[in-house]
Structure 1
């Protein structure tokens, strides 16, 4: 009977005679090599270098909407053409922290004015928006860090807000357990798959895994070096510094989960992209050493202002070091889609269902939070619409 190649019949070592010891040792060594090879898990394809030349011309990038009052740092596109825009208070914004732009170009607080009130019951308003993500069923999850000033302590408990974008109503609020946080925690970035939320901590590096039905939260990868601020955040003007001249340090602030929920990617703005299989978070037998080693460096990204993930698992990155939009397939193929001087600190992009990516040119390094209270933003702040390529990456 013919056997498959990976299950070839092996020689009977018991039949090796003493006079054939040398040959036997050779066979044993060969068998050991074969056995180790078969036992090793398949390695993912190696990443290749990011192309230096962008694929798309400047004409592929066009203004979508603008503001002369607010700095938007994230956009989510709804299937009906409306756009949700995030204007975080911590960078110096006033007014609604979450707005919806209708197809006619008008803006209103979202889901309503009460949830965007500047004061009142903290459990019934957005205190400090820190990320949002849209699910296929129209559910929007909004992260509220409760930290409107990143240089000060939290003023309200952190929470997740579930919004039905079809009815434009808040469905429920999931409080985030304080036991999963540190005193200096500043939650920033949320990804959701089914009943599990993954939240990044940019104040003290870590990932929170939250069971949404029970609101049970557990902290993992606490202060892990791969998701900590170990490299400077670089723009075309050079490294970003604080008011006293020190290099700005922000830990893990960007996070995404694969469409099948099998892995997450997370990184700090100035760090590299790390990937973690989600089964590690629910394995009761995992050791601290195994947890520490579960993080795989997935790509040596430049400084990023945001990222999002498409339904096919492709990652889209906003490169603040060159003013570029990059993409990265699940097969680890990088693409430089466009580089444009208009993309000043491009932030968290959003996809629509017709092949476009919407990117806010947030100029975060010119906001009050980065300029010691003296903003130098060049108004208006613009969200750009990028027509994505429909052809495979160039070879």
Structure 2
């Protein structure tokens, strides 16, 4: 799930860190404590190979389709021009996705992608695209946020759903979407919160507004050090990454400058839940490093892009962490995508070198590359 600059938050990160809450987790069955992340990577550099490259677009999310095509997100807010969504065909050619009209930079906002902010693919071939409506994160929105439903078999938009304004703040910038059955979960990176959208009715409800677990509390750090905004303050982004378990029972969510939290989804539909119960429903799930994105596999395993060390990490449902690979080619690894053959595709997005982070003067080292990682087929080391 891609990162979103929130100007209202930049002044809040004047401190370099905040003490984190004590970790005390209980699973619904057998209690288990999280293990420490290994310091040594399991895989060598040969497991990571270039797959897709561009000399003009910065991709921050990739979705492999079962037929061998790839959907790539090039968000406008970091300085990209051209299509925000592209499809890479099996012959290596690129085209705007689902078509040129939906990637237009002008025209009726309800009929185009204004500011792509997240992608998620369903088993039936539905691609949900989150549009924040905020192409410049230092300016006001130009359109309400919406979800765009694309049929990847027919390659066309079949529906759009505008998020209800009552669930948003003036400073809201939605980022990251997860969908299970008829419910979408969207993170708000402008003012920390979770939006729960009924895809049948369009009803949008806001939960965990400004909850401490969803608010930036520590610096976003790369191997070169903490990331600053153009005004010199440490960069602050609230919850921008979100995923839902394959059975729909849990969501996991975090700010890039924060830790991973888990929430049972039933609490969002419980008519008797109290405000106190909602506040206490959030469980700290792992003390992650600064992340550039995450995705979840069909077995519930989480895959994280660690921007602080240029690593790909994983975390099983049994709370076993693995450092899969660390490689200096992974410069700000962003939202990865899984294929059906045991490969993880990771964009090395270099976001801290884009115009949004450098005062308008990009220092990207081209080409921007999506790498293919051959995932291990063996259990984690003991």
SS of match in other structure, 2:312: strand
Residue 212 of structure 2: aligned partner: 225
Q: In the alignment, is residue 368 of structure 1 matched against residue 363 of structure 2? A: no
SS of match in other structure, 2:303: strand
Q: How does 1:166-245 map to 2 (within 5 A)?
A: 166-245=153-232
Q: In the alignment, is residue 292 of structure 1 matched against residue 279 of structure 2? A: yes
Q: In the alignment, is residue 345 of structure 1 matched against residue 304 of structure 2? A: no
String of CA shifts for 1:8-43, please: whole Å, max 9, x gaps.
xxxxxxxxxxxxxxxxxxxxxxxxxxxxxxxx9756
SS of match in other structure, 2:113: coil
Residue 239 of structure 2: aligned partner: 252
Distance 2:49 2:28 in 1: 45
Distance 1:144 1:65 in 2: 24
Distance 1:190 1:41 in 2: 25
Distance 2:264 2:40 in 1: 32
Q: In the alignment, is residue 264 of structure 1 matched against residue 251 of structure 2? A: yes
Pick aligned residue for 1:84 from 37, 56, 71 = 71
SS of match in other structure, 1:179: helix
Deviation beyond 2 Å, 4+ runs, structure 1: 40-44
Residue 305 of structure 1: aligned partner: 292
Distance 1:337 1:69 in 2: 29
Distance 2:63 2:175 in 1: 16
Give the superposed CA RMSD: 0.9
Distance 2:260 2:277 in 1: 19
Q: Which runs of 5+ in 2 are unaligned?
A: 1-26
Equivalent residues, number:
356
Relative to structure 1, the CA distance from residue 292 to residue 43 in structure 2 (aligned partners, 3 Å threshold; closer, same or farther) is farther
Residue 314 of structure 1: aligned partner: 301
Distance 1:44 1:252 in 2: 27
SS of match in other structure, 2:230: coil
Residue 124 of structure 1: aligned partner: 111
Q: How does 1:378-393 map to 2 (within 5 A)?
A: 378-393=365-380
Which has the higher relative contact order, 1 or 2, with Cα contacts under 8 A spaced 6 or more apart? 2
Distance 1:107 1:359 in 2: 18
Q: In the alignment, is residue 93 of structure 1 matched against residue 99 of structure 2? A: no
| Normalised TM-score (structure 1) | 0.89
Distance 1:298 1:51 in 2: 17
SS of match in other structure, 1:264: strand
| Normalised TM-score (structure 2) | 0.92
Q: In the alignment, is residue 51 of structure 1 matched against residue 47 of structure 2? A: no
Distance 1:343 1:388 in 2: 16
SS of match in other structure, 1:64: strand
Shift of 1:84: 0.4
Distance 2:135 2:92 in 1: 28
Shift of 1:151: 1.1
Distance 1:244 1:190 in 2: 29
Distance 1:151 1:208 in 2: 22
SS of match in other structure, 2:136: coil
SS of match in other structure, 2:102: helix
SS of match in other structure, 2:46: helix
Shift of 1:148: 0.3
Of the two, which has the highest radius of gyration?
Answer: 1
Distance 2:72 2:56 in 1: 13
